[in-house]
Amino acid sequence: MCGRYTFIAPPGLIEERFEATMADDFPATYNAAPSQQLPIITNAAPQQVQLVQWGLVPSWVKDRTSGPQPINARAETLAEKPSFRQLLQRRRCLVLADSFYEWQEKAAHGLPAKTPHRFLLRSGEPYAFAGLWDEWVDRDSGEVLPTFTIITTSPNALMQPLHHRMPVILQGRAAERAWLDDAVSAAEHQLLLKPYPAEQMQEYVVSKLVNSPAHNSPEVLEPAAAGQ
């Protein structure tokens, strides 16, 4: 799964890298967590970066607080679940990031279970997770709540020893453009939902500061001290 990530790129780099303008000021986030307002680019507005709540509230639910608000969606079953299948066809998004955290499932290599790791590209550059978005409308007030979820896939060789899932990192700008393109078929979109090449990524252990979303500072990026 993907439950925490970072996005610390400055606005100028964001606009150059993703060819989109920032609709809102957005401070660097070192520990993005569900329910927060985070930057995405939707297929409905591909030239605009928007702040949207993480944790999908489907448009068809009556009460936004009564049901699950999935932060992840499995790539392998998107076409099988009616709510995700419709979003795959009509509401896709880029979730902007530059690294993510994962906690290893089992003790290994001298590290206990629940040890947090940070994963990023070897280049260190920003990238986009494949995501889905939707809008929930309050029938009484007319309030519109846009939300999103991050798509996950099977792990690559770097992730596999630590966890059984990883977020889908779209492989380059052409893949990002294709993911947002409504003219591309759902079948072609699903071909983009694959593990990122392990040899193009790196990881290291970080401290347990990252366990709490309240810790949102550069310190959470630092490698963990031995025995921490």
Decide if 102 is catalytic.
yes
- List Cα–Cα distances, 206 to 86, 133, 184, 210, in angstroms: 38, 30, 39, 8
Beta bridge partners of 203: 119
Catalytic residue among 2, 76, 125, 135: 2
Decide if 93 is catalytic.
no
Catalytic residue among 19, 76, 93, 102: 102
Beta bridge partners of 108: 111
Residue by residue, DSSP assigns the chain as ---EEEE---HHHHHHHHT-EESS----EEEE-TTSEEEEEETTSTTEEEEEEES---TT-S-TTTS---SEEEGGGTTTSHHHHHHHHH-EEEEEESEEEEE-SS-BTTB-TT-EEEEEETT---EEEEEEEEEEE-TTT--EEEEEEEEEE---TTTTTT-S-EE-B--SHHHHHHHH-TTS-HHHHHHT-SPPPGGGEEEEEB-GGGGSTT--SGGGGSBPPTT-
Q: Catalytic site residues? A: 2, 102
